[in-house]
């Protein structure tokens, strides 16, 4: 059965997932706290966002929805009632509307707080009357769910093992008791709290019996919280005398609380045909799981499998893609509400953050990686009659940028192991017409920049002219070469990066040029914005009398600007920059996750004779943008198109990076290129396949990719 669990990062959500995962396919939704649960797919989603939840439910098509998501901060939402309403009521309404045409049973986890708590135990037939806003919102949620036929509402109070650094009441007692610390328990607050795993078994029975309507689902008796603490101490072998009695009257809660919220569970016991567990039986189950190491496994898996998650929800496993978290959305919304949507302070902030990230003195952010390549060429005066050398194994923009300037792109073949441009081939292609070299750090691995720099320096001496090195580092944010960060321009005049959604971070569309040269930096900034400057030290005119200035020399009016170059509108917006700054905070997190996936792929595919895994030079530490396998399709007995199609039918999307640029019709027509010109690049192209690699892939996604690919190759 396909089960959707909301509130997967909460106490009940993660415990239910752990219980049901063995026999069912689980998708868990969290809001702000990503979690990793063995055998469970988790996804960040705001339950108040109808469009997002509609997309998730449509694509997931669950047969059962267990709605656990709720804010349980009783005092907090008593003060901030709007927040409580949105999470406990609005989110429920949105979820129900998103499920309106999906035939799924809904189980709503409600609370004993819907009862007044004056004189328990309470049966389902007794009047509700919550004493606080939390209970009121849960009761409203019940009424919404019950409007859907066949829905099940379970009123409960529970404890168990948190996956986050929060504590259920049981954990709140256990941890201090282990340390021999004294603590208190209310003697005048009674409840029928049940262990989450005991609750999970009851939910399973409710499904078997096809129950619907409202049921109390808790233990069959009740204890005070003081007695609960002492019983935990006794069951776990701690000293019960460490628990001291206290009255709830002596605690200053912001929200009113009922003193006796014990529940009468006889109706559910009758429907299931057996008694529900007692408080002691439930506590015994808690102890057995604790003794068997369940809480360590829950938290240990989370620690060992950090899961980078967020939007969007993907029905299939794509070859790459962005990961958008709530913090990214908040950053963008904050900027949307500000006075500057473009040409504002966020642009400077992104440039500063990028510079600090890669160790570059100067950064110019633009609206795409292609724009960055173009102005990089323009800034070093690439023009008609010039030649620019680059790799044929790249996206067309790496060569197009030269043509934009009126220059001629010259290709140098790649190295067979790294798939990067060969310094030896560059050396063969450099002439007195060469104005710039654009090495492409393919898939994230740096070119041999030290050797390329040596080749260029030698050519500069030979031809008596400056030859610029512009690193196309669009695949390489977060990568290192000889312990230097790509983008620091140790071996180049400039480096260019892209922030397209499939790259390491995204600004939706965007890019940047990095340089250590102050003069290039000033020119790049002008070229980004129409070739215009408002810096007085750059002005050419000295007579401002035509502009209404009081003085005629060196006194421009405050609105004055000059167009120095023929530039372009390549500006990036503050909205995009806000997203980029937020994403950069997660760069190391993204890098670690990519590296872990790459290591698993290497382990899985390294011993298959028909495969060749990516080679990584000892000089490099790649933040893999792509994971490219070279496959001997002839040996496998299937052509690449059919191989990719069969994977697509299994929900796995792959891609080819890249069709050699010199084979494109435009380049064949205008620059006389043809197949056979660059044999290494063409040999690579005939065998390459980019398989899924992006930080939001779960371990289960990775294993699925491995399983399906191996299944098509191995007998």
Question: Is the model more confident about 550 or about 511?
Answer: 511
> What pLDDT score was predicted for residue 551?
54
Residue 349 is encoded by which pair of tokens?
């902030």
Residues 674 and 607 placed together within one structural domain of the fold: yes
- pLDDT tens-place string over residues 233-282: 999 999 999 999 999 988 888 999 999 999 999 999 999 999 999 999 99
Residue that has been written with the tokens 């909205």 in this structure: 575
Residue 413 forms part of a structural domain = yes
Residue 315 forms part of a structural domain = no
**CB atoms inside a 10 Å sphere around CB 236:** 17
Domain boundary residue among 273, 304, 335?
304
Largest CA distance in the chain: 99
Residue 234 forms part of a structural domain = yes
| Beta bridge partner(s), residue 628 | 690
> What pLDDT score was predicted for residue 166?
82
Whether the per-residue pLDDT at 708 is higher than 80: the answer is yes
Residue range(s) defining the domain that contains residue 419: 326-536+569-584
Measured in degrees and rounded to the nearest 5, phi and psi for residue 296 equal: -65, -40
pLDDT band at 305 (very low <50, low <70, confident <90, very high): low
Centroid of chain to Cα 141: 30
d(CA 79, CA 75) in angstroms, rounded, equals: 7
CATH of the domain at 223: 3.40.50.720
Residue that has been written with the tokens 């290039």 in this structure: 520
> What pLDDT score was predicted for residue 553?
58
- pLDDT tens-place string over residues 427-451: 999 999 999 999 999 999 999 999 9
The SS3 of residue 655 is: strand
> What pLDDT score was predicted for residue 39?
86
Measured in degrees and rounded to the nearest 5, phi and psi for residue 410 equal: -120, 130
Residues 335 and 271 placed together within one structural domain of the fold: no
* Angle, alpha carbons 367-369-375 (nearest 5°): 80
Q: In which element (H, E) is residue 336 found?
A: helix 326-336
Residue 319 forms part of a structural domain = no
CATH of the domain at 521: 3.40.640.10
The SS3 of residue 54 is: helix
Residue that has been written with the tokens 């929900």 in this structure: 651
- pLDDT tens-place string over residues 693-707: 999 898 888 999 999
> What pLDDT score was predicted for residue 530?
96
d(CA 156, CA 590) in angstroms, rounded, equals: 39
Instruction: Give the residue-averaged pLDDT of 652-660.
Output: 97
Domain boundary residue among 240, 271, 304?
304
- pLDDT tens-place string over residues 614-627: 999 999 999 999 99
Residues 284 and 400 placed together within one structural domain of the fold: no
Residues 63 and 181 placed together within one structural domain of the fold: yes
- Residues, the chain, total? 715
Classify residue 150 as left (phi > 0), alpha (psi -120 to 50) or beta. left
Residues 211 and 251 placed together within one structural domain of the fold: yes
* Cα→Cα distances 281→235, 288, 292, Å: 11, 11, 17
Residues 81 and 230 placed together within one structural domain of the fold: yes
d(CA 263, CA 112) in angstroms, rounded, equals: 7
> What pLDDT score was predicted for residue 36?
82
Mean pLDDT across the chain = 94
**Which residues contact residue 94 at a Cβ distance below 8 angstroms, ignoring those fewer than 6 apart?**
47, 48, 49, 50, 53
**CB atoms inside a 10 Å sphere around CB 469:** 21
**CB atoms inside a 10 Å sphere around CB 551:** 11
> What pLDDT score was predicted for residue 306?
63
Residues 394 and 531 placed together within one structural domain of the fold: yes
Instruction: Give the residue-averaged pLDDT of 57-78.
Output: 94
Residues 275 and 341 placed together within one structural domain of the fold: no
> What pLDDT score was predicted for residue 326?
80
| Percent of residues, the chain, with pLDDT higher than 90 | 86
Residue 310 forms part of a structural domain = no
In this structure, the strands spanning 532-533 and 562-563 are antiparallel
Residue that has been written with the tokens 């090495």 in this structure: 439
Terminal alpha carbon distance of the chain: 30
The count of structural domains within the chain is 4
Domain boundary residue among 519, 551, 584?
584
Q: What does 369-382 look like in DSSP terms, one character per residue?
A: HHHHHHHHHHHTT-
* Range in 34-38, 148-152, 178-182, 692-696 the model is least confident about: 34-38
Residue 432 is encoded by which pair of tokens?
């007195």
pLDDT band at 307 (very low <50, low <70, confident <90, very high): low
Residue 311 forms part of a structural domain = no
Q: What is the DSSP secondary structure assignment for residue 573, as one 8-state letter?
A: B
Which stretches of 237-322 are DSSP H helices? 266-272, 279-291, 294-304
Q: Convert 429-469 into a string of H (helix), E (strand) and C (coil).
A: HCCCCEEEEECECHHHCCCCHHHHHHHHHHHHHHHCCCCEE
**CB atoms inside a 10 Å sphere around CB 342:** 13
Q: In which element (H, E) is residue 485 found?
A: strand 484-485
d(CA 71, CA 164) in angstroms, rounded, equals: 15
pLDDT band at 552 (very low <50, low <70, confident <90, very high): low
Half-sphere exposure of 515 (CA within 13 A, CB side): 24
Residues 198 and 111 placed together within one structural domain of the fold: yes
**Cβ–Cβ under 8 Å, residues 678 and 578:** no
CATH of the domain at 693: 3.90.1150.10
| Percent of residues, the chain, with pLDDT higher than 70 | 98
Residue 250 is encoded by which pair of tokens?
């002596």
* Cα→Cα distances 8→27, 106, 349, Å: 9, 16, 35
> 77-109 burial, b if ≥16 CB within 10 A, otherwise e?
bbeeeeebbbbbbbbbbbbbebbeeeebbbbbb
* Range in 159-173, 512-526, 679-693 the model is least confident about: 159-173
* Angle, alpha carbons 269-273-276 (nearest 5°): 35
Residue 498 forms part of a structural domain = yes
Residue 312 forms part of a structural domain = no
Whether the per-residue pLDDT at 500 is higher than 90: the answer is yes
Residues 338 and 445 placed together within one structural domain of the fold: yes
* Range in 270-284, 289-303, 410-424, 518-532 the model is least confident about: 289-303
Residues 130 and 164 placed together within one structural domain of the fold: yes
Quick check: bond before 121 cis, omega within 30?
A: yes
d(CA 413, CA 678) in angstroms, rounded, equals: 5
Residues 635 and 579 placed together within one structural domain of the fold: no
């Amino acid at each position: 059965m396909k089960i959707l669990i909301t509130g997967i990062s909460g106490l009940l959500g993660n415990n239910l997932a752990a219980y049901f995962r063995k026999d069912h396919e689980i998708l868990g939704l969290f809001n702000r706290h990503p979690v990793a649960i063995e055998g469970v797919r988790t996804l960040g989603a705001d339950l108040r966002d109808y469009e997002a939840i509609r997309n998730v439910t449509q694509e997931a098509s669950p047969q059962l929805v267990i709605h656990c998501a709720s804010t349980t901060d009783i005092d907090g939402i008593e003060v901030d009632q709007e927040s409580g309403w949105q999470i406990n009521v609005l989110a429920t309404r949105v979820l129900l509307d998103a499920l309106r045409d999906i035939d799924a049973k809904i189980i709503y986890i409600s609370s004993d707080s819907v009862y007044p708590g004056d004189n328990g135990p309470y049966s389902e037939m007794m009047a509700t009357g919550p004493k606080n806003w939390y209970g009121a919102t849960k009761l409203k949620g019940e009424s919404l769910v019950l409007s859907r036929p066949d829905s099940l509402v379970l009123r409960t109070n529970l404890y168990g093992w948190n996956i986050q650094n929060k504590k259920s009441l049981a954990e709140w007692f256990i941890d201090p008791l282990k340390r021999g610390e004294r603590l208190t328990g209310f003697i005048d607050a009674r409840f029928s709290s049940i262990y989450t795993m005991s609750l999970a078994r009851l939910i399973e029975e409710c499904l078997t019996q096809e129950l619907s309507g409202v049921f109390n689902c808790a233990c069959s008796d009740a204890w005070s919280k003081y007695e609960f603490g002492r019983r935990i101490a006794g069951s776990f072998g701690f000293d019960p005398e460490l628990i001291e009695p206290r009255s709830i009257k002596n605690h200053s809660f912001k929200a009113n609380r009922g003193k006796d919220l014990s529940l009468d569970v006889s109706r559910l016991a009758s429907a299931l045909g057996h008694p529900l567990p007692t408080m002691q039986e439930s506590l015994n189950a808690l102890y057995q799981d604790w003794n068997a190491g369940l809480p360590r496994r829950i938290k240990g898996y989370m620690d060992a499998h950090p899961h980078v998650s967020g939007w969007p929800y993907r029905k299939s496993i794509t070859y790459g893609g962005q990961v958008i978290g709530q913090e990214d959305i908040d950053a963008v919304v904050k900027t949307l509400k500000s006075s500057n949507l473009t040409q504002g302070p966020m642009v400077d902030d992104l440039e500063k953050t990028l510079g600090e990230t890669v160790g570059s003195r100067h950064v110019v952010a633009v609206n795409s990686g292609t724009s960055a390549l173009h102005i990089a060429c323009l800034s070093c005066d690439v023009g008609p009659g010039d030649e620019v050398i680059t790799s044929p194994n790249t996206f067309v923009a790496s060569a197009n940028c030269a043509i934009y300037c009126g220059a001629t792109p010259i290709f140098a073949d790649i190295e067979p192991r790294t798939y990067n441009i060969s310094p030896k081939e560059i050396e063969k292609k450099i002439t007195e017409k060469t104005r710039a070299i654009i090495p492409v750090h393919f898939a994230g691995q740096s070119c041999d920049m030290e050797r390329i720099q040596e080749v260029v320096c030698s050519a500069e001496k030979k031809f008596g002219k400056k030859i610029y090195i512009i690193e196309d580092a669009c695949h390489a944010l977060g990568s290192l070469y000889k312990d230097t960060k790509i983008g620091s321009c140790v071996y180049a005049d400039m480096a260019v990066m892209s922030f397209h959604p499939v790259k390491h971070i995204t600004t939706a569309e965007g890019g940047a040029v990095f340089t250590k040269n102050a003069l290039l930096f000033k020119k790049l900034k002008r070229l980004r914005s129409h070739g215009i400057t408002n810096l007085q030290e750059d002005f050419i005119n000295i007579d401002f009398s035509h502009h209404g200035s009081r003085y005629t020399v060196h006194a421009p009016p405050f609105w004055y600007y000059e167009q120095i170059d023929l530039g372009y509108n390549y500006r990036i917006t503050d909205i995009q920059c806000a997203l980029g700054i937020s994403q950069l905070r997660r760069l190391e997190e993204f890098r670690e996750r990519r590296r872990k996936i790459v290591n698993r792929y290497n382990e899985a595919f390294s011993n298959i004779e028909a495969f060749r895994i990516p080679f990584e030079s000892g000089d490099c530490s790649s933040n893999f943008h792509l994971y490219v396998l070279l496959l001997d399709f002839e040996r496998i007995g299937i052509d690449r198109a059919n191989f990719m199609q069969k994977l697509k039918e299994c929900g796995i999307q792959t891609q080819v990076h890249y069709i050699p640029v010199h084979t494109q019709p435009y380049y064949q027509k205008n620059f006389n290129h043809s197949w056979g010109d660059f044999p290494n690049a063409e040999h690579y192209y005939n065998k390459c396949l980019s398989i899924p690699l992006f930080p939001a892939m779960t371990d289960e996604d990775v294993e699925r990719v491995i399983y399906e690919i191996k299944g098509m190759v191995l007998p």
